[in-house]
Structure 1
Amino acid sequence: MKGDYKTGKRININKLIPYIASSYRKDKIWLRRTKASKRNYQILLCIDDSFSMGINKANILALESLALLVKSLTSLEIGEISVMKFGEKIELLHDFNNNFNDFNGSYIIEKFNFKQKQTNWKLLLENTMNYLNQAKLSNNNNRNNSNGIENVQLCFIISDARIQQDRENLRNNIMDCINRNQ
């Protein structure tokens, strides 16, 4: 715990008396945790680009959710963010290696048209597992993982959840992801 902040977790007792003596104006009396996290997050956001999303007007909610998640995660500086759209075809719109900014965000939103005829869930899960495995391997090679930082991968799937394929195979694919700590 370090620092002189206006908000925080604990009060710095040494700053308390000057705070009261200044008629409560010198209010930087709080301490915060400043140690870096022992985890590096790789977060993949998958958005359904199928026609059914447009029928229910879930497309607007999906894009708002995408913007909210990206803004929140970048402000927390939690790690790397990647965005993928899926339907009949899968397309990676933003990969982990690029920093996220407003220009990238507008480019990503323009790529969604919500006109794909169906959602291929099996293809999505297979591509997601392969992409996350490749990202983990390249991340381990780049950082050599000698500093003890754990790589954690998360995948958020934003969809209307209309699953036409075999649900049992999808369940098995999801269990494979869980077993790989993805």
Structure 2
Amino acid sequence: MDSAVSVDSTFLGEDACISDWMQVTEKDSENNQINEEDPDARSNAVILWRRCELLTAKPAQELAEQLRLILEPTLASKLSGDYRTGKRINMKKVIPYIASHYRKDKIWLRRTKPNKRDYQVVIAVDDSHSMSEGGCGDFAIRALATVCRAMSQLKMGSLAVASFGKKGSIKMLHDFGLTFEQENQIEDEPVANLLRNMNVMLEKLASTSPQSYGSNPLQQLVLIIDDGKFHEREKLKRSVRKFLQQKRMVVYLLLDNREQSVLDLLNFVVKNNTLEKTAYMDSFPFPYYIVLRDIEALPTTLGHVLSSG
């Protein structure tokens, strides 16, 4: 099955995870703690990221154009219009104003039409062992580079990047307020814990912003890049429901591998002494999600999900 639309807002890409362009050795995966002071490690990371940017330049540009249509400007910073009172005088209107014996007095400019974007977006990437074991580690980096570059090109507001895996291991890799420069086995409740932390973070950020948030859920958006394999399903449903009730948006980018597709997974439960099986995705806790196999499909599918939200 190459493409399908399933429950809620679901879209499926086309090709399997690509893992031949930026190989990560088993040693690197096991040692997952790179010395940040090591200049060689930092240099290698920069080289890999630059290469990733080159590979994702086309889908990033396409995604930026999709987001430009969906994420409308929210801040009015440009002066315009003809008003009797306002912020600044339109000097072109002064001479006609005097010539009319001061009757044509609509000579003032105001900031009325939004022309800048002020969205708060968190991109959360799973860095647990299941990602590398499923062959989706490189795919996740490509998806991250695509989304980050597209949002940076659009100048859509504040962007933060976080990694998560084990409970309590949420790490901010790129915090709000910083300019985005182009330069573990899953256990406990990593995704539910992530949503709790994101709720607190976005609440604090909204309280310090002069702009009111809540009318448009897309103004506070969380994108989760993961392989879709977690066990805290029932608790996660409550966490997602609570997150959405705060007028915020969360979209799950599920990186799929055709050879070990999450669409083929089954759940087994015992009911009335009978073993019943259901499709793993039938009870997926996120109402807005993408099953992605091809990075080229990301701009269109993510655009569809955000416009439907």
CA contact (8 A) 1:45 1:83 kept: yes
Task: Find the aligned partners of 1:123 and 1:58 in 2 and give their Cα distance.
Answer: 22
TM-score (norm 1): 0.65
CA distance in 2, matches of 1:159, 1:126: 17
Question: Does the residue aligned with 1:61 lie in a helix, a strand or coil?
Answer: helix
Structure 2 counterpart of 1:131, one-letter code = M
Write the mapping of 1:55-66 to structure 2, written as runs, cut at 5 A: 55-66=133-144
Query: Considering only CA atoms, is the larger Rg found in Structure 1 or Structure 2?
Result: 2
1:156 alignment partner in structure 2: 223
Q: Where in structure 1 are there 5+ consecutive unaligned residues?
A: 1-34, 104-115
Alpha-carbon contact 1:50-1:118 (below 8 Å) kept: yes
Q: 1:37-56 to 2 correspondence within 5 Å?
A: 37=115, 40-56=118-134
Root-mean-square deviation (CA, aligned residues, Å) is 2.1
Question: Which segment is superposed worse, 40-49 or 129-138?
Answer: 129-138
Q: How does 1:61-140 map to 2 (within 5 A)?
A: 61-88=139-166, 89-103=169-183, 116-119=184-187, 120-138=190-208, 140=209
Residue-by-residue CA offset, 1:105-142 (whole Å, 9 max, x unaligned): xxxxxxxxxxx22252221111111111112112x2xx
Runs of 4+ in structure 1 deviating by more than 4 angstroms, as ranges, are none
**% identical aligned pairs:** 29
Q: CA deviation at 1:38?
A: 6.8
* Secondary structure of the corresponding residue to residue 80 of structure 1: strand
- Could you tell me the TM-score, scaled by structure 2's length? 0.39
CA–CA distance in structure 1, aligned partners of residues 237 and 115 of structure 2? 32
Q: Deviations over 1:39-81 (max 9, x none)?
A: 5211100000010100121110110011010111111111111
2:250 counterpart of 1:176: no
